[in-house]
Amino acid sequence: MDATFSAELIEWRGPAPFYWLPLPPDVCDYVQSQAAAASYGWGAVPVCVRIGGTRWETSLLPRGGGYVLPVRKDVRTRERFGEGDTVTVAMSVAPRGGRAANGTGPAG
């Protein structure tokens, strides 16, 4: 993993609740330096993420000049954290072509 950070889980309430970890500025700088090789549109940047013992692939979304990391319910449940908790994340930007079309792992 290329970046490690800690952030507080926040909830955004829309038609359905979504939970996010805002990236700190230094990690946003890392993501921006890698984004051209990885982004696939709308500013979304694919990443490989690990929280505790749980690894998955997702995409960062731009927000307020930075990025936010969506955190699925199964990850929050498995790792036992919720809104307002601070968690540590290990993350790498996944370059285009580095993932299978279904997002499950390396292409090829």
Residue 42: which CATH number?
A: 2.40.30.100
What does the alpha-carbon distance between residue 105 and residue 100 come to, in Å, rounded to a whole number? 5
Domain total in the chain: 1
In a domain, 45, yes or no: yes
Whole-number pLDDT of residue 100: 42
In a domain, 52, yes or no: yes
Note the pTM of the prediction, 2 decimals. Answer: 0.82
Residue 95: CB atoms within 10 Å: 13
In a domain, 30, yes or no: yes
Whole-number pLDDT of residue 38: 80
Residue 42: CB atoms within 10 Å: 8
Would you give per-residue pLDDT tens digits along the chain (108 residues)? Answer: 799 999 999 998 777 679 999 999 999 999 988 887 787 767 889 999 999 999 999 999 999 999 999 999 999 999 999 999 999 999 999 876 655 444 444 443
The residue among 107, 84, 102, 96 whose CA lies nearest residue 47 is: 96
> Any idea what DSSP says for residue 80?
T
User: How much is the CA Rg of the chain, to the nearest whole Å?
Assistant: 13
In a domain, 98, yes or no: no
Q: Domain of 84?
A: 3-93
Whole-number pLDDT of residue 68: 95
